[in-house]
Structure 1
């Protein structure tokens, strides 16, 4: 068994490309090997800013021999009087087999000639030589470039190539115009600590030799080393390193030989909001900030940088980093002081100069729409004092035109909160300005204040309706306005805060207002727009229930309905109810309570579709004629339905669905007698009056169950 090494050497790669490229290789390389019948023992992937590498262990020297069966001409064409014809001889010659070895077999289209031949496996070296160029050029990513005079595209110029099968160099070439990069056994060590080339004598020696050349090629080990060094460095100055996973991932792919260094900055900069200092460090400099304590937001006047230079020159490197950060923080302090020279409200006129979207006007116009939608939400929620909500809606985007947010867009909302406090706004308004952006991403915290919740939903609803109104619906993975995230946030905020929001009515209001304001640029009709938005939210609800709340798909179908207007409208009118019913169904499936009513209700629901009873009817008084009963089981069924009416109404009123399930469970044995007992009946009786009477009994039971869910959509577990 052999070991194969492939290393691509480059100029410094973008940090995000390294992980992405190796992830692509993790799926493509094993697939490529399998397609050529090569099964290695294991595959290891490595990456640094200057290289991507793969080590394939336990490769067989050759492909296994393959037996192939080839279908030839029809038997009557291939043989005449038991002897092979020219057709058979030509087929045998083409396949490289003896004519006498041809076999005749029956197929659906008659008897045909078949040849069985052995294909000798190719050497692994030959296969790898042909496959490697595709592994390299098949990588995908953003910001690819061309260099020299060729058309080869890669994130950075490729400078060397190592392809070793054990100790043998496989002849691989990457042609880029007049420049040809030929494979060799020479790689490069650390740019500063080991500038001399490194000769790889054997593929198995790759990791050890590069480690000796001050290059840690294992990403996991490098990440772990950086994290340990950063924590230890912070501990030495009695602090705690702030290590965000995204920054740790990025820094890991910026260095080959990490060394943590501790820098210091002037304490006067601690007067800046911690978020500003942290953003300066993380976003611009890729430094780790240092806090006094784990749970504290208070920072120490230190930072931790991960150097890729000579550890012996750490003092010089530290001073250089301190100078850069001092300049950054000085800029931040200037922005912070300049921004506070006027109250936050003073920035509103400048929002007129910022375009939200070409057809939708300025951000200032959007602010007015946010205020209107916020008022509609607050009215619906019956919030008596809306002063803070309206003030927060007015000021929620004002910080976009401040110098600080202009420099650091990720601080929008954060600086709005700071500047609102500095301007004398109420605490509720300041927090709402910050919180209306929450959640900023998946797994992020949700707004906790009512003003933040209302303004946040209003902002997102305006964006959703406006962009849909222009006909710019998200498709596939393309969602430039993050409309899916916006809809998810509205649903999640409603659920988390238990807001009794009638989303259907709200969507009607907002879409109608949009149609009036933007009739000239509106693409769909008002009816089409409303349907598109409703369908979009229903899909978001479905996804959130299944993926976030872990509700089985059929139970989600049962509460949302399939092309069932009654259910879809009910879901949008009451987001809390659809959530509660889905979670309740999942819970009674787990404790097997669902099984006690499933068969009876499901059977009744299926048969009830043969009738014409409205799905909203519950009272049998005017719908069932007892004089048409032929068996006592019908009377028992009717009496049980009469008793069920007040129980269902009570369960629906207080949303006590367990009470409803208990009532349905009590009815189940009676319905079983109606179907299968000694006094059972034929539902589809020849007499149309009796048939309709019995179908109405079943339809009424179905309707009671529909208060909880459409049992016809539930799959038996």
Structure 2
């Protein structure tokens, strides 16, 4: 057993690429090693701004040998007069084998020649040398680049290769035009703290050597050190705010972290807190400092990748940069507040939402039309309705303010703040702030967010920009998911029919874009809905067969029913989970599923629930048929009531009661032949089963459920 280390040295990598690359390696490298029968005791993944590396501990010296049996030609074709024929000799040459490796074996199809070979395992270094190029060349990421005169593409130029099998350098070469990089035992330490080359004597010395050279290769260790540095840097009676995304990014920006506490002029604290924190976190990668009441202090902590001996100089440089950024923010803030937020709305005509969909102002007008139309049928109070319409009018106004022009992350939040500062109501200001959120908390915000996302989805589908694979530039999948969840939030206050409001959206959109395929938009809308509903149920822990029992993207009627009552859809999913957990589903599954599958051989429409229309009582020949007829009548009554009330308890109880009757109908001394030769009797019995199937469809499609 031997240790192995591989390092790809580069110029400074983007922070997100380091994280993505290590995740890709964790997903692929174990399987590539298993495929060549070289499974180490452990695999360690390392990443810093200047390197990606893996360390394998206790790797087998070579692959295990393989014993192969290969079937060759028939004995009659392999030998003639006891001598090997060209057919046998050609077979041996193709396998690089000898006559002594062959044996004859009798099979059901006659006597054949079999080749028995023992293939020795290849040395591990030889195999690893072939795997290394696959590992780094298989990485994917944004904006890969070429450098020099070569054709190699990577996130940043590759500058050195390190490959050690124990003490031995493993030969790996990277050819990039006229540049040839050869692997060695040399790495490089911290640019400032240890700019000299670092010689690694043995693979198991890799971590120690780099740490002595001012580099912490382990991501988690580096992150923990940053958290410790942050806590140690802040003043007494204060705390540091550590957003997870910022912590993850900063971790991949430094190799040897040290913290520096900086200050800024307290006069800037009159700015909205999100403005200050956005400047610090999003633009400067600083961590904000709070007092015990959770209020911002005029301090920040930066994580430096420089020499701690020059802390004063680094601190002063960061403070100068922050002061300039805050001065800009203060100027934008004061300039923006010289006029009410509403006066910015006409300027939205100059901001393009999408080339074929017109300006953001046109989008705002569509939102107002949609909300005016839909809200006229609700029982909301006049104040709520006017707040929703006012929010729709103002929700995009901050896009043309100077603050959002410089700090786009503040859209929505700064609009809400400006609204409040210029005389709008608290309800409108809060809704403007949160209408960008996935799930707004206020009713006003929920309605405006719903209308905004519906307009986006309908518009983007209308111009044919349908999400494909990983390409979803307008985030339609996320928008549809949020539409579903927002609708579920609104439903208790108003029975919102999502299908109807989407049609209203398309109708209003047609005034701006007169020519588009309404039917195709509807089809794509249903597909997106079904996909997002499927994902949401998966996240809730629903088994795949129960999801299939609730969803069928090929059946518009099913999607339309879901759209009519999103809350009922989620209620049914929870009901199915509970039925499986408490064993009731298992008790009724077999017979109800059997009835559903047989019913599918008939012609009864799936929405039919009127027993008198489809059952001829005169040809119910057997007592068990008549008993089942009475039970189905009761079941249908309960199914109709369930559709009206959304209470599935009694429907489930009726299914439990009808199960033993169905068992006797199918099997035992009272059983009948459903597929009777008499077509009228057959159709009558299939219709009876079809009505049971249709009753269960009120809850779910039992034919999709797998007994587990």
Q: Same fold (TM over 0.5)?
A: yes
Aligned to 1:359: 356
Q: Are residues 1:613 and 2:612 paired?
A: no
Aligned to 1:715: 706
Q: Distance in 2 between matches of 1:131 and 1:708?
A: 53
Aligned to 2:505: 510
2:467 alignment partner, one of 467, 470, 474: 474
Aligned to 1:197: 197
Q: Distance in 2 between matches of 1:531 and 1:577?
A: 22
Q: Distance in 2 between matches of 1:93 and 1:683?
A: 64
| Matched position secondary structure for 1:611 | coil
Deviation larger for 704-713 or 245-254: 704-713
The TM-score with structure 1 as length reference comes to 0.93
Aligned to 1:257: 256
Q: Distance in 1 between matches of 2:307 and 2:138?
A: 35
CA shift at 1:40, angstroms?
A: 1.8
Matched-pair contact (CA < 8 Å) for 1:377–1:506 = yes
CA shift at 1:501, angstroms?
A: 1.4
Q: Distance in 2 between matches of 1:139 and 1:391?
A: 49
CA shift at 1:140, angstroms?
A: 2.3
CA shift at 1:665, angstroms?
A: 1.9
Cα gap change, 1:161 to 1:710, in 2 (>3 Å): closer
Q: Distance in 1 between matches of 2:157 and 2:686?
A: 75
CA shift at 1:277, angstroms?
A: 0.8
CA shift at 1:313, angstroms?
A: 2.3
Deviation per residue, 1:146-176 (Å, 9 max, x gap): 3333233222232222222111222322223
Deviation per residue, 1:62-101 (Å, 9 max, x gap): 3333334445455433210222124434543554433243
Cα gap change, 1:93 to 1:703, in 2 (>3 Å): closer
Report the aligned-residue RMSD. 2.3
Q: Distance in 1 between matches of 2:125 and 2:374?
A: 68
Q: Are residues 1:576 and 2:575 paired?
A: no
| Matched position secondary structure for 1:479 | coil
Q: Are residues 1:80 and 2:58 paired?
A: no
Matched-pair contact (CA < 8 Å) for 1:8–1:158 = yes
**Map 1:354-393 → 2, pairs under 5 A:** 354-385=351-382, 386-393=385-392
Matched-pair contact (CA < 8 Å) for 1:417–1:431 = yes
Matched-pair contact (CA < 8 Å) for 2:526–2:553 = no
Matched-pair contact (CA < 8 Å) for 2:412–2:434 = yes
Q: Distance in 2 between matches of 1:353 and 1:493?
A: 30
Matched-pair contact (CA < 8 Å) for 2:413–2:433 = yes
Q: Are residues 1:394 and 2:393 paired?
A: yes
Aligned to 2:212: 212
| Matched position secondary structure for 1:149 | coil
CA shift at 1:488, angstroms?
A: 0.4
Deviation per residue, 1:587-624 (Å, 9 max, x gap): 11111122333233222222333433343343434543
| Matched position secondary structure for 1:303 | strand
Aligned residues: 704
Aligned to 2:638: 647
Aligned to 1:688: 679
Q: Distance in 1 between matches of 2:606 and 2:93?
A: 73
CA shift at 1:457, angstroms?
A: 0.8
**Map 1:136-147 → 2, pairs under 5 A:** 136-147=136-147
CA shift at 1:285, angstroms?
A: 0.8
Deviation larger for 582-591 or 603-612: 603-612
| Matched position secondary structure for 1:191 | coil
**Map 1:332-351 → 2, pairs under 5 A:** 332-351=329-348
The TM-score with structure 2 as length reference comes to 0.94
Cα gap change, 1:11 to 1:694, in 2 (>3 Å): closer
Aligned to 2:428: 429
Structure 2 stretches lacking a partner, 5+ long: none
Structure 1 stretches lacking a partner, 5+ long: 440-445
**Map 1:441-480 → 2, pairs under 5 A:** 446-480=439-473
**Map 1:528-539 → 2, pairs under 5 A:** 528-539=520-531
Matched-pair contact (CA < 8 Å) for 1:274–1:297 = no
Matched-pair contact (CA < 8 Å) for 2:394–2:432 = yes
Cα gap change, 1:106 to 1:516, in 2 (>3 Å): farther
Deviation per residue, 1:264-287 (Å, 9 max, x gap): 111111111111111101111111
Cα gap change, 1:286 to 1:679, in 2 (>3 Å): same
Deviation larger for 45-54 or 102-111: 102-111
Aligned to 1:412: 411
Deviation larger for 492-501 or 478-487: 492-501
Deviation per residue, 1:614-665 (Å, 9 max, x gap): 4334343454344333333233223333444443333332211012111222
Aligned to 2:157: 157
| Matched position secondary structure for 1:46 | strand
Deviation larger for 105-114 or 397-406: 105-114
CA shift at 1:472, angstroms?
A: 1.3
CA shift at 1:231, angstroms?
A: 2.4
Matched-pair contact (CA < 8 Å) for 2:101–2:117 = no
2:306 alignment partner, one of 303, 306, 309: 309
Matched-pair contact (CA < 8 Å) for 2:4–2:166 = yes
| Matched position secondary structure for 2:464 | coil
